[in-house]
Amino acid sequence: MECPHLSSSVCIAPDSAKFPNGSPSSWCCSVCRSNKSPWVCLTCSSVHCGRYVNGHAKKHYEDAQIPLTNHKKSEKQEKAQHTVCMDCSSYSTYCYRCDDFVINDTKLGLVQKVREHLQNLENSAFTADRHRKRKLLENSSLNSKLLKVNGSTTAICATGLRNLGNTCFMNAILQSLSNIEQFCCYFKALPAVELRNGKTAGRRTYHTRSQGDSNVSLVEEFRKTLCALWQGSQTAFSPESLFYVVWKIMPNFRGYQQQDAHEFMRYLLDHLHLELQGGFNGISRSSILQENSTLSASNKCCINGASTVVTAIFGGILQNEVNCLICGTESRKFDPFLDLSLDIPSQFRNKRSKNQENGPVCSLRDCLRSFTDLEELDETELYMCHKCKKKQKSTKKFWIQKLPKVLCLHLKRFHWTAYLRNKVDTYVEFPLRGLDMKCYLLEPENSGPENCLYDLAAVVVHHGSGVGSGHYTAYATHEGRWFHFNDSTVTLTDEDTVVKAKAYILFYVERQAKAGSDKL
């Protein structure tokens, strides 16, 4: 929104000496000394923590609104100030009087100047810290903690994603997609879109109303985010530009409450698909797809019109068979899919850990079998039989007619009771490599043995008890190494840790070369 309070509230000089030392994202609250979610007041340059920590930034604003009975002249002035602050990590601006984020600026452009100054401080601090760490690594015995590949020591080049306020659901999905090589490389190879020219060319773009919604491109912001990951030039990247576009085109995800990662992934893929269908940066979608013959070849799965890289990689086809139990009439329908949502069988729902000794461990195969097994529809799902000309009892069965290049499996861990949405916290055993999907195919004899084998590329995990709370992280493999992505923190991990995770979303990539015979 455009805030009317900027001219009276933004009073500090962009290069104010009152700013603390160090990187802005690590500044400490002047009250509680917490360095989580620091916000700087644009009236007095004091730093306080955000509302999701101890809320001292908001209290600073509220204290400034207390009437000063002995100074009536300054009372009016005081009420108009200390209302606007800036997030020191994402550089977004918030007005407490408007109770919303701000997209406009003062006539002199002070907000943008402060933003650029904070960003320069952050970059300078990061550069100094990187040089310091490099010297330590070169001159100390910490080399043993670095990863050794082919006898040589290498550093972690992965980049984390800053949490912009309960955006871990988005970060986990973005990190997972960035490690699906075919999908990620396609977007990184797209031409960049220039949103600004002249004096502002090359600068970081912050959307304002004057730019108009025509400049909002999900594909472009998604491309820029993927390009920023795995470059090794920074420890964490702030995806606020992408999050702004998400707010613009996906109203369900506006605000800072926790969201469902699977729901976000579906919205993201659907909107990327739709935008690519309409062409991108003056280049038609079909001409972009034709440049990559491996994506366009043999791709017959279309969702909402023509195919794109989204359907070429994630798109598969289900056959839904329904049989009337009265007259035996069979109905077949083909449905395209981007992911499969699998129930965790009820007999396993009380088993919470792999080592719990109360019956067999639930496996991914159990969930897939439950999805494809013959099922009798209950009274609320009666089938309208065209031969009987009325709703009848029937059976239903799913077959997979076409497997995708990347098989996305969503485990349905959240379900509704009478009043609450509860979490199924059951551990589900899943293979790291050799997931065999041949037995779930409609015509398995028409598929080669390698085309049905999948290897794990990424896992999204939900920690906590409910969909509206908790925290999302992701595991993903990159160049033969497994990484754990926890917002801005990225750490090397191992396969033993990955297989113990309580998976929520699993990304399996079709095996291309012949490998071992280990199967699910």
Provide the β-strand partners of residue 337.
Answer: 316
Sign of CA dihedral 461, 171, 21, 141: positive
Query: Which amino acid is present at 198?
Result: G
What is the full DSSP assignment across 485-511? EETTEEEEE-HHHHHTS-EEEEEEEE-
Q: Is 144 helix (H, G, I), strand (E, B) or coil?
A: helix
Q: How many Å apart are CA 511 and CA 79, to the nearest integer? A: 64
**Active site includes 471?**
yes
Q: How many Å apart are CA 453 and CA 441, to the nearest integer? A: 12
What is the full DSSP assignment across 42-79? TTT--EEE-TTTT-HHHHHHHHHTS--TT-HHHHHHHH
Catalytic residue among 49, 85, 168, 324: 168
Residue 166: closest CA among 484, 472, 497, 489: 472
Residues counted in the chain? 520
- The pair of structure tokens assigned to 198 is 């002249």
**Active site includes 367?**
no
Rg of the Cα trace of the chain? 26
Q: How many Å apart are CA 82 and CA 94, to the nearest integer? A: 11
Question: Which residues, at least 6 apart from 141, have a Cβ–Cβ distance to it below 8 Å?
Answer: none
Catalytic residue among 5, 415, 463, 471: 471
Task: Tell me, letter by letter, the H, E, C secondary structure of 13-27.
Answer: CCCCCCCCCCCHHHC
- What is the dihedral angle through the alpha carbons of 222, 228, 234, 238, rounded to the nearest 10 degrees? -10
Question: Which residues, at least 6 apart from 99, have a Cβ–Cβ distance to it below 8 Å?
Answer: none
**Angle between helical axes of 181-188 and 168-178 (0-180°, round to 10):** 90
- What is the dihedral angle through the alpha carbons of 489, 492, 496, 502, rounded to the nearest 10 degrees? 20
Q: How many Å apart are CA 236 and CA 128, to the nearest integer? A: 15
Q: How many Å apart are CA 485 and CA 170, to the nearest integer? A: 12
- Indicate which residues carry an active-site annotation: 168, 471
